[in-house]
Amino acid sequence: MTTLLLVDDEKNIIELERLYLEKEGYQVEACYDGHTALAKFRALKPAAIILDLMLPGVDGWDVCRRIRQESDVPIIMLTARDQDIDKIVGLELGADDYLTKPFNPRELVARVKAIFRRTSPTPKTQRLSIGDLTMDLDRREATVGKRQLELRAKEFDLLAVFAQNPGIVLTRERLLQIAWGYDFAGETRTVDVHVAHLRKKLANAHTQIETVSGVGYKLVSEQ
């Protein structure tokens, strides 16, 4: 059974999440502070973490940062803070998704399912190549020439969308729909943050992500 770790200091929120997630067949473990969250993460090795920002002891940002030093486990940040800067910081620290309270628990379930769809193995080996970039979708590996790229789960998903559509201009909304697996309206900065990360990792490559002003992005190769 797939184990999820819920981290929130509001017990009523935990119980609401638990109710809907257990109905979908997930095994749910919960805790209410940052120190316990880190301990449970290491002990349980959950398949995904739903993490509140405002925690006693160690806050959610620090918990996310520490987990990212050890693992690429998917993290959904769930918080009452809805300022853009909070979302950007969370994504910069490695969160895969961000949901603002109050929330519809069915949307949370949909986002959890979307994360697992993106990270589940493909049924057969698929390889994509554009310029000096090669992606093995089955192994979830990407290389530029002989250099292997160190990509987080969401970065790989986003780069794969570009590689499957070489030279095609993709809007931020379309990228969110494909790479995130659902409509993520109003959060297009998520794409910008992840594109910025990818550009750093593609530095000196002949294959780059170009901005198309007022529209979106496209993957192009100089080779």
Statement to judge: residues 97 and 159 lie in one domain:
no
Statement to judge: residues 166 and 82 lie in one domain:
no
Last residue of a domain, one of 94, 119, 144: 119
Q: How confident is the model at residue 177 (pLDDT cuts 50, 70, 90)?
A: confident
Domain count, the chain: 2
The arithmetic mean of pLDDT across residues 85-104, rounded, is 82
- Report d(CA 196, CA 92) in Å as an integer: 10
Q: Tell me the pTM.
A: 0.62
**Regarding predicted confidence, which is higher, 192 or 187?**
192
For residue 141, the domain's CATH number is 1.10.10.10
Residue among 220, 223, 221 at smallest CA distance from 168? 220
Residue 205 has a CB neighbour count (10 Å cut-off) of 19
Q: How confident is the model at residue 1 (pLDDT cuts 50, 70, 90)?
A: confident
pLDDT at 223: 67
Average pLDDT of the residues of the chain: 88
Give me the domain span that covers residue 146. Answer: 127-221
Statement to judge: residues 40 and 91 lie in one domain:
yes
pLDDT at 170: 92
Does residue 118 have a pLDDT over 80? no
Does residue 74 have a pLDDT over 70? yes
Last residue of a domain, one of 97, 119, 141: 119
DSSP string, the chain: --EEEEE-S-HHHHHHHHHHHHHTT-EEEEESSHHHHHHHHHHH--SEEEE-SS-SSS-HHHHHHHHHTT----EEEEES---HHHHHHHHHTT-SEEEESS--HHHHHHHHHHHHHHHSPPSS--EEEETTEEEETTTTEEEETTEEP---HHHHHHHHHHHHSTT--EEHHHHHHHHSSS--TT-THHHHHHHHHHHHHTTT-SEEEEEETTTEEEEEE--
For residue 20, the domain's CATH number is 3.40.50.2300
- Report d(CA 169, CA 60) in Å as an integer: 35
